[in-house]
Amino acid sequence: MMAGMTGTRWLDTSEQCIWRSYLAATSLLEDRLDREISAASGLSVIEYGILAHLSEAEGRRMRMSALADTVLVSKSRLSHQVARLERDGHVRREVCPDDRRGAFAVLTDEGYELLVSIAPVHVDGVRTHLFDQLEPEQVQQLAEITRRLVAHLRELPEVVRCPSARSGAGAK
Amino acid sequence: MMAGMTGTRWLDTSEQCIWRSYLAATSLLEDRLDREISAASGLSVIEYGILAHLSEAEGRRMRMSALADTVLVSKSRLSHQVARLERDGHVRREVCPDDRRGAFAVLTDEGYELLVSIAPVHVDGVRTHLFDQLEPEQVQQLAEITRRLVAHLRELPEVVRCPSARSGAGAK
């Protein structure tokens, strides 16, 4: 409907179809794994990721800022998720007295036990809904495709916010 | 750390690496497109998707339940996002008097104009951060991989919730 506008490299019909297929596959997979983990444990897939990353860190503890970079969520969203995990006794937050920004998240023994008990559910989901669906060469293709995307996305400069944008000025 | 447990088909090192690369690529791409749309308009990528799907529907209106299936978010999350869009005047909700569950979301003229003004930003992001990063054969590979995953994930039965699971019984 907007293909007449100039300057934008619009997607053709095939690209639109591939983009929608990508969106559907990634959303459905995330949603499925989320439901499976939630049904087994009450955790969201992000909470599971937080516990898993903490379990692999030295002393089962990480700075909140490092945890946000690893789990790939925004700091505000992480803070919300960690608060929920803390309320349920799976994570403990510790603040360094000499550095107010340097709060740590620490995995509790109870959190570790929960993680161990649900890891088989999650691994089974990843295998059943992703790896088992693909031919061996497709798994290698996916590895190379995602490697390229990560290399590109990690090197991008920050997005600059346009203060006047919400007025709707522009393309019409 | 848990590879000694039986019955679970654990991921080997290469599969773990591919799974983490998949998670990083999909999270970073979603996050980047979200930031670009947000910087240009204040909308999240999900809100953008809601406006885009409504713009293509007959009468620019959809039942909330159909919209949730199309945008691939849970009904509660959709309800929250539509409430925000309604507050800002981009969407209007209409309830059928003879069917209380049959609420519709309707795109307003203001919502349509906002969508038109930011569509170039979004398309540019998808092209720059996805299609431009891949060789033509990789785009075709991605199409086939995501087609397979969608076909599998759409046919799955519902997840059955296990009421006793949060006690942490099990694998350790």
pLDDT, chain B, mean: 86
Are A53 and A115 spatial neighbours (Cβ–Cβ below 8 Å)?
no
Q: Environment class of residue B78 by beta-carbon count within 10 Å: exposed (0-12), middle (13-18) or buried (19+)? A: buried
d(CA B145, CA B138): 10
- How far B91 CA lies from chain A's nearest CA (Å)? 15
Q: What letters, b where the CB count within 10 A reaches 16 and e where it falls short, cover A55-80?
A: bebeebebbbeebbebbbbeeeebee
Closest Cα in chain B, distance from residue A97 (Å):
33
Residue A123 vs residues A54, A126, A147: alpha-carbon distances, Å: 17, 5, 21
The top-scoring range by mean pLDDT among A66-75, B12-21, B162-171 is B12-21
Is residue A124 within 8 Å of B8, Cβ to Cβ?
yes
Integer Cα distance of B120 and A3 in angstroms = 10
Which of chain B's residues have a Cβ under 8 Å away from the Cβ of A25?
145-147, 149-150, 153
Structural domain boundaries of chain B? 18-156
Reported ipTM: 0.81
Q: What is the pTM of this model?
A: 0.80
Check: CB of residue A125 under 8 Å from CB of residue A33.
yes
Residue A21's alpha-carbon distances to A16, A17, A159, B147, in angstroms, are 9, 6, 26, 6
Which helix (H) or strand (E) segment holds residue A61: the answer is strand A61-63
What residue of B is the nearest CA neighbor of A130?
Answer: B149
Give chain B positions within 8 Å (CB) of A133. Answer: 148-149, 152
Shortest Cα distance, chain B CAs vs residue A53, angstroms:
12
Judge whether residue B6 has pLDDT over 80. Answer: no
Subunit contact B72:A117, Cβ cutoff 8 A = no
Residues of A in contact with B77 (CB under 8 A): none
Pick the CATH number of A18-156 from 3.40.50.1950, 1.10.10.10, 1.10.3720.10, 1.10.290.10: 1.10.10.10
Percent of chain A whose predicted confidence (pLDDT) is above 70 = 85
pLDDT tens readout for residues B109-126 = 999 999 999 999 999 999
